[in-house]
Structure 1
Amino acid sequence: MPARAPIPDLAAVARLGTLGLDIRARRKALGVSAQAAAAAAGMSRVTWHRIEGGEPSVTMGAYLNALGALGLEIQVGDVAAAPAGVEAPPVPQRIRLADYPQLKRLAWHAPGLTELTPAEALGLYERNWRHLDREALDPKERALLDALTQQEAGGRLLV
């Protein structure tokens, strides 16, 4: 009987989700159909779709084939070490919803709400992760989410 696959931690699932979105964005930027990309990577369109969805059950080899088909590669680095001279931007004490469209969209249930504390914002992202349009995250909001994860959750996004 084959061994069971390990259960990935939530941070790994989030990174795979981001990797899948990056693969999809690259494919679309190149103007390549999912069918053609899958064929170039030597896999089915269904497996390609699962990779773009960031599914952890897809083999690492399949992810690497997908990256190679698009002219991309993956690099290994120390997640604890920030690049020299680069610091995470400070998280504001009050986060204005108007400045972060995806966060504002997640706060639909609270009309009239205009600001959140960092802990409230991170909690809203985490609780509603499945509703977040990660492709629509602009760089400013992605940086906020990364900074919130570092400051409020010790680098581990609970999704």
Structure 2
Amino acid sequence: MTHFGPAIVPKDFPELKMLMWNRDCARPMPADEVFALYERNWRFVDRARLTAEETLLIAELTEEFGHGHMLV
């Protein structure tokens, strides 16, 4: 599991929060669901706005759930 834990609070990550436009971004989400959300919606992520912490989160999720690959 990532050092972020099994559940992730989307409001803590700016680009993830943006992807949560139709959900409660304060509700913790399972890490595998967060990875799937990033993967499905990567085209909407502004990579220039990713914080160092969010970049690390994405890298850890990609390693854990994508086996090192994000299908984007």
Counterpart CA distance in 1 for 2:44 and 2:64 is 23
What count of residue pairs does the alignment treat as equivalent?
70
Q: TM-score, normalised by structure 2?
A: 0.88
Is 2:2 the counterpart of 1:98? no
Across the aligned residues of Structure 1 and Structure 2, the Cα RMSD in angstroms comes to 1.3
**Aligned partner letter, 2:15:** Q
Query: Is residue 94–residue 116 contact of structure 1 (8 Å, CA) maintained in 2?
Result: yes
Counterpart CA distance in 2 for 1:93 and 1:154 is 17
**Aligned partner letter, 1:105:** M
Is 2:58 the counterpart of 1:151? no
Give the structure with higher Rg (CA): 1
Where does structure 1 differ by over 4 angstroms across 4 or more consecutive aligned residues? none
Is 2:21 the counterpart of 1:108? yes
Ranked by relative contact order (alpha carbons within 8 Å, sequence separation 6 or more), the top structure is 2
**Aligned partner letter, 2:29:** L
Q: Compute the displacement of 1:142 (Å).
A: 0.1
Aligned residue runs from structure 1 range 41-120, under 5 A: 90-110=3-23, 112-113=24-25, 114-120=27-33
Unaligned 5+ runs, structure 1? 1-88
Query: Is residue 91–residue 148 contact of structure 1 (8 Å, CA) maintained in 2?
Result: no
**Aligned partner letter, 1:108:** W
Distance 1:91 1:150, change over 3 A: farther
**Aligned partner letter, 2:34:** A
Any idea what SS the aligned residue of 2:71 has?
coil
Aligned residue runs from structure 1 range 115-154, under 5 A: 115-154=28-67
Residue deviations 1:17-68 (CA, integer Å, cap 9, x gap): xxxxxxxxxxxxxxxxxxxxxxxxxxxxxxxxxxxxxxxxxxxxxxxxxxxx
Unaligned 5+ runs, structure 2? none
Identity percentage of aligned residues: 36
Q: Compute the displacement of 1:94 (Å).
A: 0.6
